[in-house]
């Protein structure tokens, strides 16, 4: 299952789209997917958005446009950020003092009406699992393609995995008996970093090489 933010960035968007479209796995739309097909008039031009779109075919963009914001697959609920927003974190709060885990009561409020025993979320790129007192399990598998970033939207903050590994999670079992294996994979992050730099994003280059954004 794929939790969104599939193609945006200074790397290989078309090649990534081809792989994901061929796999046909359940996928939800992330905020960085949405900005690729939304009308951007009236907003500041984004060189990275322009780069990504220059590599994508109309079929790639149409695939993104057709992705749902949320999805229920059996007894699993998928969202990118929260059930109601693809730009808000489900498991973290960002304030002027930094980023901290959201309180259980705050998570409960975000999940009001969601009864699936397994909830998958993304957006903050941090591999995490939280079990709620009612037994529901929330899993954020982390990010395959970007282990750290700086978000300058108020309040400005950074998210960091701490190493450049690609991350995903394997969840097995059933209701109340979920087992989660958190995977981190080494790859040629120096090559990815060099590609990001060549494509105009020295900040991505540093994040990819180190897993740090500070």
Helix then strand count (H, E) for the chain reads 7, 11
CB 189, CB 164: distance < 8 Å: yes
pLDDT per residue as tens digits for the range 10-67: 999 999 999 999 999 999 999 999 999 997 766 667 899 999 999 999 999 999 999 9
Question: What share of the chain in percent tops pLDDT 90?
Answer: 89
**Average pLDDT of the residues of the chain:** 94
Peptide bond into 51 cis (omega under 30): no
pLDDT per residue as tens digits for the range 144-171: 999 999 998 889 999 999 999 999 999 9
Model confidence, pTM: 0.94
State residue 174's pLDDT score: 78
Domain annotation for the chain: domains and CATH numbers: 13-210 (3.60.21.10)
Mean pLDDT to the nearest integer, 116-129: 96
Q: Which residue has the tokens 């990819």?
A: 208
State residue 33's pLDDT score: 96
Mean pLDDT to the nearest integer, 103-130: 96
Q: What is the C-alpha separation between 130 and 91, in angstroms, rounded? A: 8
């Amino acid at each position: 299952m794929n939790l969104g933010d599939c193609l945006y960035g200074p790397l290989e968007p078309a090649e990534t789209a081809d792989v994901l479209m061929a796999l046909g796995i359940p996928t939800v739309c992330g905020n960085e997917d949405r900005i690729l097909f939304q009308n951007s008039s009236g907003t500041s031009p984004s060189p990275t958005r322009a780069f990504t779109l220059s590599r994508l075919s109309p079929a790639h963009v149409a695939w993104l446009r057709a992705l749902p914001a949320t999805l229920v697959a059996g007894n699993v609920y998928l969202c990118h950020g929260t059930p109601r927003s693809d730009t808000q974190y489900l498991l973290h709060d960002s304030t002027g003092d930094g980023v901290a885990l959201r309180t259980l009561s705050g998570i409960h409020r975000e999940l009001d009406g969601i009864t699936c025993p397994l909830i998958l979320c993304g957006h903050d790129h941090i591999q995490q699992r939280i079990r709620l007192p009612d037994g529901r399990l929330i899993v954020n598998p982390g990010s395959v393609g970007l282990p750290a970033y700086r978000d300058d939207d108020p309040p400005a903050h950074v998210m960091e995995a701490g190493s450049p590994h690609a991350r995903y999670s394997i969840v097995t079992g059933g209701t109340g008996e979920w087992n989660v294996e958190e995977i981190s994979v080494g790859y040629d992050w120096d090559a990815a970093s060099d590609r990001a730099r060549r494509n105009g994003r020295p900040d991505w280059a540093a994040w990819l090489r180190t897993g740090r954004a500070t």
